Chain A
């Protein structure tokens, strides 16, 4: 039962380019949508997150775009750098008062070529 679907599985981008990773969810009760970044041998680390009451959130070179009606959200990495090479996971959860279980997408391995 995959409630969050992520694409593409892998992505190669040239330095300075834009990296785009997409996710789609099924459960309309989800109200928190984070993106995690994971480097080899490390645990995932929170990168940026959004709530469904806004359509976009930007932090530095990282932007989340959110489309509530389509039940989709995406991560845009502007001016991609080799240091951005990592695996990215989208996720979704429902309410902090709930158990807050995060449901993760399958992950996208990003390689930024110099």
Chain B
């Protein structure tokens, strides 16, 4: 099925561990985004990539890094996880205006 695929769906990390969240889209979209969703705060932009080879910070980039591996893939890395990074992470891509979101990664940092 066409769309945005995120892996893993669930993850529990210990404080200080690292991990990479994977995202891939098969719609040939140029722009890709990483958001985090927390109760009462909506979705906040972490990083985005307007096109292959470019990345830029969003509203809440601290503690994260990203890689736009190719046009399809955009990964999010936590180098040293902290409890404040417990959240649901969504990847999205877009052609012009409308975003297509993945189904999310629920991350718990203990």
Decide if A44 is an interface residue (CB 8 Å cutoff): yes
B40, B90, B98, B103 — most chain A CB neighbours (10 Å) = B98
Of B42, B97, B98, the residue contacting A6 (CB under 8 A) is B42
Verify A104–B96 contact, CB threshold 8 A. no
Number of chain B residues whose Cβ lies closer than 8 Å to a Cβ of chain A: 27
Verify A99–B97 contact, CB threshold 8 A. no
Of A89, A96, A103, the residue contacting B97 (CB under 8 A) is A96
**Neighbouring A residues of B44 by C-beta, 8 Å:** 104
A36, A89, A93, A101 — most chain B CB neighbours (10 Å) = A101
Verify A99–B31 contact, CB threshold 8 A. yes
**Closest approach, in angstroms, between the C-beta of A39 and any C-beta of chain B?**
10
Interface residue SS majority, chain B:
strand
Verify B90–A43 contact, CB threshold 8 A. yes
Q: How far is the CA of A107 from the CA of B45 in the complex (A)?
A: 15
Decide if B58 is an interface residue (CB 8 Å cutoff): yes
Verify B90–A41 contact, CB threshold 8 A. no
Closest residue of chain A to B51, judged by CB?
Answer: A99
**Interface residues in chain A, defined as those with a beta carbon under 8 Å from any beta carbon in chain B:** 1, 4, 6, 9, 32, 34, 36, 41-46, 49, 89, 93, 96, 99-107
**Interface residues in chain B, defined as those with a beta carbon under 8 Å from any beta carbon in chain A:** 4, 31, 33, 35, 40-45, 48, 50, 56, 58-59, 90, 92, 94, 96-104
* A/B interface sample: 17 pairs, CB < 8 A: A34-B97, A43-B92, A44-B43, A46-B99, A49-B97, A49-B98, A89-B42, A96-B96, A100-B97, A101-B48, A102-B33, A102-B43, A102-B45, A102-B99, A104-B43, A106-B40, A107-B40
